[in-house]
Amino acid sequence: MAGEQLQVLNALDVAKTQWYHFTAIIIAGMGFFTDAYDLFCISLVTKLLGRIYYHVDGMEKPGSLPPNVSAAVNGVAFCGTLAGQLFFGWLGDKLGRKKVYGMTLMLMVICSVAS
């Protein structure tokens, strides 16, 4: 078993760079970007939520979320990421990665337009 894996890795090492290498890099990069984007922007979202919903008229400083609400928003974002990775990973094993990648891409486009 280990010998077969080493042969596969060796074949990848000696393969010449072809178009599918670039395609795999772009797909992996876009997957990382879309997965990490929501985790990186959640801190900005919490600041905006505080300024919109917790602003008191007449105060010089903009509003901010209470610590428990901020922790809840961040926690839900991270738990949703974990649940999504587990569910769509399992679904990819059952239905095929290519099909599930297309489904998640369409889901992200629809939700982006809807928001």
Two structure tokens written together for 84: 């999504």
Query: Is the whole model's pTM more than 0.85, yes or no?
Result: no
- Sequential DSSP letters for 30-87: HHHHHHHHHHHHHHHHHHHHHHHHS--TT-SSPP---HHHHHHHHHHHHHHHHHHHHH
Domain ranges of the chain: 19-114
pLDDT band at 90 (very low <50, low <70, confident <90, very high): very high
pLDDT at 18 over 70: yes
Kindly report the average pLDDT of the chain as a whole number.
84
Calculate mean pLDDT across residues 84-94: 91
